[in-house]
Amino acid sequence: MSSRLNLGNKSYNPDVLSCLANLSNDEVFTSPQLANKVLDLLPEEIWTDSSVTFLDPFTKTGVFLREITKRLLIGLEPEFPDLQDRINHILNHQVWGIAITELTALLSRRTLYCSKKANGKYSIDTLFDDPDGHIHYKAIEHWWDGKNCVYCGASKQQYDRSSTLESYTYEFIHTVHPERILKNMQFDVIVGNPPYQLSDGGFGKSAAPIYQKFVEQAEKMNPRYISMIIPSRWFGGGKGLNDFRANMLADKRIRRIVDFENANECFPGVDLAGGVCYFLWDRDNPGQCAVTSVINGEKYRSVRDLDEFSIFVRNSRAVPIIRKVLAKHEPTMNTQVSSRKPFGLATNVRPRQKGDITLYWQNGEGKFPSTEVTNGQEWIKK
């Protein structure tokens, strides 16, 4: 999918998927360059294996499926010397997608098959009978339980509306059996860039994260590898993310994380507070995680257990420093300082005319009743 532009004596042939990735849109599209960085996390031998199956369960432009196919076309040439045989094998036996809307289904088919119909006149595949090929899309509805959808948490008040309007009923997360969507197929690799959030009907632009639901559904399908791009907010937990955070940090199958503190370094022009990351989940090879922190174009690396410390240390530069400090086994600050309002008193309290203890404040000292001390009674005599 490209068009040729003549710029003086130079010829420029832009990739339309790169152009789409730079549009301002509710959905965050993935550029071919970024898709390839995510695919680079997978083991190299995968691209020469004609039995490996791939799924993008939330395809938007089809960029992941196209880049996967391009890699397989190179890697499988010794096994399938004839180009058409190679194309037919890859598209019929190795690559699948589940679209998030009818429009993205059409776009993904155009990207992957060079035709809006997989069995069309201009399709690069010569075996498909089904016009959809392996790009699946089915319009479904939310399952309301009171005010919200039981699957994604969408607000009934906001999303129970006309079928002519987008309802954001992503098929992959609106089921307890995601494997049944594609007839119980077993996939080796699940990869992609899921939708990130849904407006929850709160004040202003309040929204609830949903990307974690896509990761959890992918794990249910038990592939060999999962590689996805998601916001980095899960590092610290938050709205609906605490359980997801705990599970991810304890999961030794998370073997690689590439984290961008500034999302613009990953998605130019896209505002994602808290940054963005992509990761590799390796089912059969648990171990420590190689974390790459990207800060102002510089990369800092560490290899560690994600739950090595009581909180997740995001910046890889800080990890060796913390290890050196902890190795000295000295008292830590949390044993030497108290929390806010250690005695349960507001900052505007002042001495009284009468009292059985002394209250010290910025302008002096005075009497104060111990009965008003609601916390830390045991510290008073110390």
> Where are the alpha helices (H) located in 189-250, listed in sequence order?
211-220, 242-250
pTM of this prediction?
0.82
Instruction: Tell me the percentage of the chain whose pLDDT exceeds 90.
Output: 69
β-pair type (298-304, 289-295): antiparallel
> Cα–Cα distances in Å, from 345 out to 214, 340, 358, 378?
45, 10, 14, 15
Which residues, 6+ apart, have CB-to-CB distance to 325 below 8 Å? Answer: none
Considering the chain, what is the average pLDDT of its residues? 89
133-151 pLDDT, tens digit each: 999 999 999 999 988 999 9
Per-residue burial over 360-377, b = 16 or more CB atoms within 10 Å of its CB, e = otherwise: eeeeeeeebeeeebeeee
315-359 pLDDT, tens digit each: 999 999 999 999 999 988 888 887 788 899 988 899 998 999 999
For residue 93, the tally of other CB atoms under 10 A from its CB is 14
Are the C-beta atoms of 349 and 332 separated by less than 8 Å?
no
Are the C-beta atoms of 201 and 155 separated by less than 8 Å?
yes
Which residues, 6+ apart, have CB-to-CB distance to 334 below 8 Å? Answer: none
pLDDT at 200: 61
Which domains are seen in the chain, by residue range?
22-137+170-259+272-286 (3.40.50.150), 345-370 (no CATH)
- Token reading at 27: 């959905």
pLDDT at 378: 86
Q: How many CA atoms, within 13 angstroms, populate the side-chain half-sphere of residue 47? A: 17
Given pLDDT bands bounded at 50, 70 and 90, which one contains residue 164? Answer: confident
Least confident of 176-185, 199-208, 260-269: 199-208
262-273 pLDDT, tens digit each: 999 988 888 788
- Inform me whether the pLDDT recorded for 201 exceeds 60: no
